[in-house]
Amino acid sequence: MSWVGIDEGDLAICRINPQPRSGDIVAVALEDADWGATIKYYVEEKGRRYLKAANPLYEDIPLFEGCYRIAGVAVQFYKQPPPLFVYDRNLNLREKWADYWQSVIAKAESQGLTPEKVESMIVLFTDMIKAWGKER
């Protein structure tokens, strides 16, 4: 849910409510994930129930009777500073990807792409993904 500001390590405060409203952010346990919990948007539309991730690249998760348990509706999130190992991992990833991004930028420049063109392509592609997700 990082696309809406909820990051790994954040603490979710939930109100027990087995009957959330469509659009609520819920903590839910899923049978196919060994009853592991996840935080997602709860959606009811056109007679079906599903979980929606904030990241449009993730598929919706259909909810079937008996295959999930709503633990509660999120009412507040507390930010937790990441532990040192997470900071170190992120720093290492940043360093690892910095060279790769530089090569991607050089490739874009060699093809005559300006930062403005690349940005407009990203916006167009993102809009297409969002539109595709709404049609499904």
Number of domains, the chain: 2
Is the domain of 90 the same as that of 71? no
Is the domain of 74 the same as that of 109? no
Report the chain's mean pLDDT, rounded to a whole number.
87
Is the domain of 70 the same as that of 12? yes
Is the domain of 47 the same as that of 103? no
The string of DSSP codes covering 63-119 is: --TTSEEEEEEEEEEE--PPPHHHHHHHHHHHHHHHHHHHHHHHHHHHTT--HHHHH
Q: Give residue 91's Cα distance to chain centre.
A: 21
For 55-85, how does the pLDDT look when each residue is reduced to its tens digit (9 = 90+)?
Answer: 888 899 999 888 888 989 999 998 877 788 8
Is the domain of 111 the same as that of 74? no
Of 78, 98, 121, the residue that ends a domain is: 78
68: exposed, middle or buried (C-beta count within 10 Å: 0-12, 13-18, 19+)?
buried
Is the domain of 66 the same as that of 120? no
Is the domain of 73 the same as that of 109? no
Is the domain of 62 the same as that of 89? no
Say whether pLDDT at 36 is over 90.
no
Is the domain of 47 the same as that of 112? no
10: exposed, middle or buried (C-beta count within 10 Å: 0-12, 13-18, 19+)?
middle
- 28: number of Cβ within 10 Å: 20
Structural domain of 31:
2-78
The CATH number of the domain holding residue 67 is 2.10.109.10
Are the C-beta atoms of residues 74 and 11 closer than 8 Å to each other? no
Is the domain of 125 the same as that of 99? yes
Q: What is the pLDDT confidence band of residue 33, given thresholds at 50, 70 and 90?
A: low
